[in-house]
Amino acid sequence: MMMMIVVRFFEVNPEGKVPVIKVDGKWVADSDVITGILEERHPSPSLAPPPVVFSLESFKTKAPPDFVIAGWAAEIARRS
């Protein structure tokens, strides 16, 4: 029984990639494509993380995020 499942899986997905879903009669085995399809069909709540936007103005008005400060500190330490 298990061998039949494995054989069937590789019949629909020769690369053996996961995740895999069937959409409109076609098998899709690319997670980015799957996410795009799900986003298009079910836009809320979003599966995609919000874009990170930095501008010069944002740095003038508020402190940079911790990961930016950590990156600067690491770069300064590396150059010292």
Domain that residue 45 falls in: 2-79
The confidence score (pLDDT) of residue 18 equals 83
Per-block mean pLDDT, blocks of 10 residues, the chain (80 long): 71 82 89 90 83 65 66 77
Question: Rounded to an integer, what distance in angstroms lies between the CA atom of residue 32 and that of residue 39?
Answer: 10
**Domain count across the chain:** 1
Q: pTM higher than 0.85 for the full model?
A: no
The confidence score (pLDDT) of residue 57 equals 66
Domain containing 27 — which CATH number?
3.40.30
CA torsion angle 64 66 67 72 (round to 10): 70
The confidence score (pLDDT) of residue 58 equals 60
The confidence score (pLDDT) of residue 41 equals 92
